[in-house]
Amino acid sequence: MGRAARDLKPDDPQVPSKGAMDPVPLEAREARIRELVGRARDGDQAAFRELVVLHQDRAYGLALRITRSPADAEEVAQDAFLRAWLALARFRGESSFATWLHRIVARRALDRLATLKLRRGREVQVEEAAVMPVRGATAAGDPAEAARGRRLERLIVRLPAAQRLAVTLYYYEDRSVAQVAAILRMPENTVKTHLSRARAALRAAWQRGER
């Protein structure tokens, strides 16, 4: 299914498709969709690609209304079409194809939101630990906070050099991503990648109880 999955990827959903703009009477359109569904259920990928063209704009629009993110909406729409292709044999026609597809899009969009919420919550926990003023905590006489800070510093030392530098500059020296990129002579997106991977590594090490 690897090649098929790539072939079924919808076009840019932000640009109205030619099929979506054709002034086709509703009855004729629905009849055409039923025909395409029948052919697609028999494994006709060309028929399914036409279904994608006819429905991609509304699928993307629904995903965008739920996720509020164009990038996430495009990913959700593409995932939903792939899942629809894989599940098409189970589509019995109790509802229209559009209704069935939109249920898949809505579920994938809600799952995407839940995943992002969990991920962001975990990142916030690590970031809160990373920006803790270790020296200030020690000076203030808070042994627990000082111990926590020393543990985090030991974990940071174990990171790869580029990640360690990015974390140090961004969190401990309060530099912006642009400033870190200039100092390390690398693209800003690379800095963001290093920070993301460092947070993931620190979070995993912290949860494992490493010291």
**Domains plus CATH for the chain?**
2-118 (1.10.1740.10), 131-207 (1.10.10.10)
- Summarize pLDDT for 142-181 with one digit per residue, the tens: 677 777 778 888 888 888 888 888 888 888 777 788 888 8
Going residue by residue through the chain, which has 211 residues, state the pLDDT in tens, using 9 for 90 and above.
444 444 444 444 443 343 444 556 777 888 898 999 999 998 899 999 999 999 999 999 998 888 888 988 998 999 999 999 999 988 887 788 988 999 899 988 888 887 776 656 555 555 555 544 433 444 445 677 777 778 888 888 888 888 888 888 888 777 788 888 888 888 999 999 999 898 888 888 888 877 7
Mapping DSSP onto H, E and C, the string for the chain reads: CHHHHHHCCCCCCCCCCHHHHCCCCHHHHHHHHHHHHHHHHCCCHHHHHHHHHHHHHHHHHHHHHHHCCHHHHHHHHHHHHHHHHHHHHHCCCCCCHHHHHHHHHHHHHHHHHHHHHHHHHHHHHHHHHHCCCHHHHHHCCCHHHHHHHHHHHHHHHCCCHHHHHHHHHHHHCCCCHHHHHHHHCCCHHHHHHHHHHHHHHHHHHHHCCCC
